[in-house]
Structure 1
Amino acid sequence: MPICIECRYPVKTLYTSYSKADDRSLGKGVRLTQCPRCKRFADKYVEHDYVILFINLVLLKPEVYRHLLFNRLNREEGRFDKSVLRLGLLLTLFDVYLTWSRIEKLPLPPTSPCPTSSRTNATLLNTYPLILPYLFFLTLVVTSTFIVHVIIRTLCSISHYSRFGRNQTSMRKVWGMLLPYYPHPTRISTALFISSSTKLFPLAMMIWNYDLPSAATAVSWAVIVNNIAALEILMDCGYLKAGVLVGVAAVARRVVAGGLLWVAGLGTGEGEGVVGLGF
């Protein structure tokens, strides 16, 4: 059931169409539903285009997140909207480019097969056919992202009432204080994908020459902030719980990414860039 994006109150419909000949995307032939609780329009973004939605996403407007997560996407519980899948694919492919560009500029680790202080990881990567480094970084990004989603979805699916017995009241209180309970994993992943659209900002680096490691690090931290805000808006759990979720997932991703890079002889990703913090 859709909700009012202002006060989260459930409503039956978001609008009423009274003329099929007009275009709803232009706001014609549509009468927006008024929320019975707050007396404001239940969802004003019904008649707004994607440009307005994206601008409000960047500004972290809670209303636009509620519009996307509750009223436009995930209408069928447990199934991803096709646009979310396309966004996830786009973010993954672009993350491969960012990660590859950042890692190849880092110095070779001492344990590398060709250790030289004046060389970078690009020296080692260039010894392989182009398809092999691409497949490696694709595996790195997909695995790291999978770890993040699994951890956050799993932690949110565990109720502190069922996790601890009556004799563990203190542990139950701590768990409930730090972690939220939200048994809707598809919406959680959708919120993470949408809030990670900040990753697309470095597209400007293809036109202007920026300092890639610094830009990638800034984007990673921006994605973390957006993820925390998106989870807080989705679950209405407060920034502390959302921050704990994202923090635990970020650490796990950092460990997994560093381990894969170390096995490949590319170090652990430490240096000028921060690997594995963005989603």
Structure 2
Amino acid sequence: MTPAKDASNLNSAGFRCISCGWKIGRLFVQYSPGNIRLMKCDNCKAVADPYIECEFMIILIDLILHKSKAYRHLLYNMLNLENNNFKAIMLKSFLLHFILDACRVTFSVRCKDTSDSMRDGSELVWTTLKVIVDVLFGNFVFASVLWIWVSILLKLNHNLLRFKEVFFVVLVSSYFKLFLLAMMVWDFPYSVLYIVDIFVLSSNAVALRVLTRLKMSSCIAISFSAHITKFFAYHWLLSLLKCFR
């Protein structure tokens, strides 16, 4: 069997060549401080990870441009899934994701409601309820749809460890939600929320393609289904709660 057809290598965690996704033992050899030699991939014979010598801003630009090589560098060679601190990184990603979702709902309410209504006690309670529904119920629906799609397409048979990796890359690839923090300080039009959502959706699709090696159309379908189901489930539950308001 040739290296390019070794599926076990492609699906295992560890450092990866950013060109072909092949697993490698190490990315570089350091001879002295500041003197390193980048390793080449045994499969494609290219330098395994040239991003090691790049500034983070260059990596960020390539991530924004949705380059698969940049996502492989981020997910495998920076946030190594075999890292002993993987659980801690995932927990922090969860917390940050929830905080940013709460910021999104708060910004949405601030754009739609007047300042007088926001100072009203009942409106403050209603805003808090919206945040709770989006952060807890919305993300539960999102994770459930993601679980169903990934289980079907990858035939994981409820492989919890593999699903954690999938959900982790979705959280990490939602980094553009950090822009929501700026929206809480400066005034932006409401339409910017949809721009952020579209960017997050497309970024999730690229990250899923890098991890699962599925077709791009399948990854877009997974990402779109999870996001749109979360959107409708959130508004459906809010409409029910309004009946008891």
Instruction: Name the TM-score, length of structure 1 as normaliser.
Output: 0.68
**How far 1:128 sits from its partner (Å)?**
3.4
Q: Which structure would you say has the larger Rg? A: 1
2:230 corresponds to: 253
**d(CA) in 1 for partners of 2:155, 2:89:** 36
Paired residue secondary structure (1:184): helix
Match of 2:30 in 1: 17
Shift of 1:100: 2.1
Q: Deviations over 1:225-249 (max 9, x none)?
A: 2112221222221121112212221
Contact kept, 8 Å, 1:105 with 1:121, in 2: the verdict is: no
Are 2:184 and 1:196 equivalent residues in the alignment? no
Instruction: Point out the structure with the larger helix share.
Output: 2
**2:16 aligned residue:** 3
Q: How far does the alpha carbon of each residue in 1:154-196 deviate from its partner, in whole angstroms, 9 at most, with x for none?
A: 3212368799xxxxxxxxxxxxxxxxx9982122112211221
Aligned to 1:171: none
- 1:271 matched to which residue of 2? none
Find the counterpart in structure 2 of residue 68 from structure 1.
74
Structure 2: distance between partners of 1:148 and 1:76 = 25
Equivalent position of 2:191 in the other structure: 214
Q: Which amino acid aligns with 1:193?
A: L
Query: Do the aligned residues in 2 keep the contact of 1:78 with 1:186 (CA within 8 Å)?
Result: no
> In the TM superposition, what is the alpha-carbon distance from 1:56 to its structure 2 partner?
1.9
Find the counterpart in structure 2 of residue 158 from structure 1.
Answer: 152
Q: Percent identity over the alignment?
A: 27
Query: Is residue 185 from structure 1 mapped to residue 179 from structure 2 by the alignment?
Result: no
**Which one of the candidate residues 14, 31, 37 is aligned to 1:31?**
37
Question: Is 1:58 equivalent to 2:64 in the alignment?
Answer: yes
Query: Which range is displaced more, 120-129 or 143-152?
Result: 120-129
Partner of 2:149: helix, strand, or coil?
helix
CA distance in 2, matches of 1:54, 1:161: 33
Tell me if 1:228 matches 2:234: no
Counterpart contact for 2:209–2:215, Cα < 8 Å? yes
Structure 1 unaligned residues grouped into runs of 5+: 23-27, 108-119, 164-180, 267-279
SS at match of 1:16: strand
Q: CA separation in 2, counterparts of 1:231 and 1:106?
A: 34
**Contact 1:17–1:29, Cα closer than 8 Å, also in 2:** yes
Deviations 1:60-119 (A, max 9, x none): 111121122223324338984534433432232122122122135447xxxxxxxxxxxx
Alpha-carbon distance in structure 2 between the residues aligned to 1:160 and 1:86? 27
Matched, 1:142 2:120: no
SS of alignment partner, residue 211 of structure 2:
helix
CA contact 2:27–2:49 (8 Å) conserved in 1: yes
Matches for 1:76-87 after TM superposition, within 5 Å: 76=82, 80-87=86-93
Q: Which runs of 5+ in 2 are unaligned?
A: 1-13
Q: Name the TM-score, length of structure 2 as normaliser.
A: 0.77
Shift of residue 137, structure 1, vs aligned partner: 0.4
| Distance in 1 of aligned mates of 2:56 and 2:78 | 12
Change (3 A) 1:49 1:150: farther
Q: Distance in 1 between matches of 2:60 and 2:127?
A: 33
Q: Distance in 2 between matches of 1:203 and 1:193?
A: 16
Give the aligned length: 229
| C-alpha distance in 1 between matches for 2:119 and 2:220 | 36
- Tell me the distance in 2 between the aligned counterparts of 1:201 and 1:124: 23
